[in-house]
Structure 1
C-alpha cells in the first residue's frame, strides 16, 4: 500500500490507520510517489493537491507506466466534472476515518475470483456518487459525459444483478461508505 500526501502528518495518520491490515509505504508528494511506485504496490491512496506534482498528473503517469493497481483519491479538493475522465478507482473526500479507508481498500484490492466488471461498476459509481453529492442536479443534467457514464453504470448494474447472487449486498456495503450520496441506480 502506498500512501501519498504532501502533508507528512496526514500521510502518517493514514499509514497508521492501515498498518494492522496492510503493509504501507509513504510518499510525501508526487515525485516520491512516482519513485516508489511499482508492481509490488497493492493500491495507492493519492492526494490531489500537492505542490511538487499534482495528484492528477501522478495518476496519469501511473497509468502511462502501465500500473493497474487501484488508485483511491483521498483529497480535500472538491470534485468537478473533470473527474469523469480520470482513471482512478475511488474518490474519498477528506477527512476519512479508518473504517472507510479499510472498507474502500477491501473493495478494490484484488480478491481471487472477483469479477472485473464489478471493479468497473464501482469506478463508475464512485465518480457519479461524488459528483451527485457535490454538484446540483442542474449542473449535471445537461452534461453528456455524466449522462453517458450514468447509462453505462445502469447497464452494468443490470448485468451484474443477473450474474451475482449477492450483488445488492455488495453495492449496499459500497454505498454505506462516506464518499457521496450513493443515489440508486
Structure 2
C-alpha cells in the first residue's frame, strides 16, 4: 500500500476505452492509475500495492464479479468499488465489494468514492464492515421499491447485521459522535434519504 510521498494506486477495470480515459484524467493527478480493458488483463495487473480498484460488472469474457473474487484472494487489503450500469440486486449483499456506483458517474462522485475508500483503511474491521454493508443497503434502497425491500429476507438480514455492528461500535466507543467514521456513515444515510424522497416524488 502507498506510504510516504508515494501516490496511492488505483486500478480501473472497464471495457469501454472512452471511460477508462475519462477516469484516468479525473484521477491521474492524485493517484497512480493502472488500467485494464477486461478481466484477464485485470488479473495481470494485480499487485500488492493496489489501494483501490474500480470494477465494471459487465465485460466480455471474465465478469467484474469474477475479477472481484480473484482480487479478494490475491490483494485482500484492496478497497473495491463496483462502477457499473447494472442496477444492484439482492445478490450484491454477499459480494465482497466496499462501495457500489451506478453509471453514469460524475467526476465528483468518483473522486469522493476513491477518497472515501482510502480513508477507510484507518478504521478497524467492524467499522469497515459496517461501512461496506451500509453502502450495499444504500444501493439497494436507491434501486428497489420499498415494498420489495420489506419482503426480502436477504435485506432484512442485512439490516439486522448493520444493527448488530452499530451496537458493537456503540459499546466499544460510546462517545464517538464526532468521529470521522460516524460522519461518513451519515453521508451514506443522507444519500438514502434523498433517494427515498426522490422515489416518493415520482
TM range (shorter): 0.7 to 0.9
Name the CA shift for 1:174/1:134 in 2 (closer, same or farther; >3 Å). closer
Q: Which residue of structure 2 lines up, in the alignment, with residue 49 of structure 1? A: 58
Structure 1 residue 99: Cα displacement:
1.6
Q: Indicate the residue corresponding to 2:90 in structure 1.
A: 81
Match of 1:172 in 2: 186
Bigger relative contact order (CA 8 A; separation at least 6): 1
SS across alignment from 1:181: helix
1:76–1:93 Cα contact (<8 Å) kept: yes
SS at match of 1:95: coil
1 or 2, which has the higher helix percentage?
2
1:112 deviation in Å?
A: 6.5
Task: Tell me which residue corresponds to 2:151.
Answer: 142
- 8 Å Cα contact 1:74-1:91 kept in structure 2: yes
Report the TM-score, using the length of structure 2 for normalisation: 0.80
State the distance in 1 between where 2:109 and 2:84 align. 14
- State the Cα distance separating 1:46 from its structure 2 match: 0.3
Alpha-carbon distance, 1:138 to partner: 2.1
Q: Give the match for residue 104 of structure 1.
A: 113
Structure 1's 33 and 50: CA in aligned 2 closer, same or farther, altered over 3 A?
same
Q: How far did residue 69 of structure 1 move?
A: 0.5
1:8 equivalent among 9, 17, 33: 17
CA distance in 1, matches of 2:57, 2:22: 17
Q: What RMSD in Å do the two structures reach over aligned CA positions?
A: 2.3
Residues in 1 aligned to 2:177 and 2:89: alpha-carbon distance in whole angstroms: 34
Give the number of aligned pairs.
182
Seen in structure 2, the aligned counterparts of structure 1 residues 174 and 15 have a Cα distance that, compared at 3 Å, is farther
Q: 1:129·1:182 contact (CA, 8 Å) conserved in 2?
A: no
After TM superposition, the structure 1 stretch with the greater mean CA deviation from structure 2, 97-106 or 119-128, is 97-106
What TM-score do the two structures reach when normalised by structure 1? 0.87
